[in-house]
Amino acid sequence: MAHRQLRRDLRLLKLWAGLSTVCLAGVAGAAFRQATSPPANLGEITVERINVVDADGTLRMVVSNKDRMHPGVMDGVVIDRPRPVAGMIFFNDQGDEVGGLTFTGQEKNGERRADAGLMFDQLKQDQTVGLSYTEENGQRSAGFQVWDRADAHLSELIARLNAANRIDDPAGRQKAVAAARAAAPRGPRHPQIGITRSD
């Protein structure tokens, strides 16, 4: 009797082990299939902002509407200002802003106003090559420009401008901003090179 019970228990144990193995193999296979399946095609998405980052989290590109655009950053110093333009902002390996594609435009009360630009920044500095278009009060200009910038890091000026912008007194703030800009290192005294056309 005990021998028969032992054989029945052994058969149940084998059955349980077989079913467990099959279930485990099924789960592992499903996980593998999910990991190697092609990316989902979302077809269409609606967003206000997309941040593209490297694997380590370094920001590389922002695609945004005018309400959520990144204000810009250099050496970890974020520019304390709104940036009400839509478009794309590019960032280098260190997370510094290095240019972008931005645009605005509207017709209001019979007045047309628009700006568009594709700019590329010098390392640790402002734009050095750009295509731009501007329209305001019936005047239009468009062109290609090249700027010769200083070698100094722009983050020093950004920090001074951020401090000036926190001054409550408008006249004091304006004076501090002007002083910060006047103290900024200048590039070589070469003329700005450009091909533009204006109406």
Tell me, rounded to whole angstroms, the distance of Cα 198 from its chain centroid. 31
Query: What average pLDDT does range 13-29 have in this prediction?
Result: 74
Q: Which residue has the higher pLDDT, 32 or 151?
A: 151
- Name which of 198, 66, 67 is nearest 137 in CA terms: 198
The answer for residues whose C-beta is within 8 angstroms of residue 31's C-beta and 6 or more apart is none
Sequence-distant (≥ 6) Cβ neighbours of residue 91 within 8 angstroms: 58, 59, 60, 61, 62, 73, 97, 98
When pLDDT is averaged across residues 79-91 and rounded to a whole number, the result is 93
Longest CA–CA span in the chain (Å) reads: 108
Is residue 73 within 8 Å of 95, Cβ to Cβ?
yes
pLDDT at 11: 76
Please give the model's pTM, rounded to 2 decimal places.
Answer: 0.70
Dihedral sign for Cα 80, 123, 103, 135, please: positive
Residue 35 pLDDT > 60, yes or no? Answer: no
Residue 91 to residue 78: CA distance in whole angstroms:
13
**Most confident range, picked from 35-39, 40-44, 66-70, 146-150:** 66-70
| H/E run at residue 36 | helix 2-36
Q: If you average pLDDT over residues 134-153, what whole number do you get?
A: 88
The string over 116-142, giving b where at least 16 C-beta atoms fall within 10 Å of a residue's C-beta and e elsewhere, is bbbbebbebbbbbebebbbbeeeeeee
pLDDT at 117 over 90: yes
97 Cα distance to chain centroid: 8
The phi-psi region of residue 175 (left if phi > 0; otherwise alpha if psi is between -120 and 50; otherwise beta) is: alpha
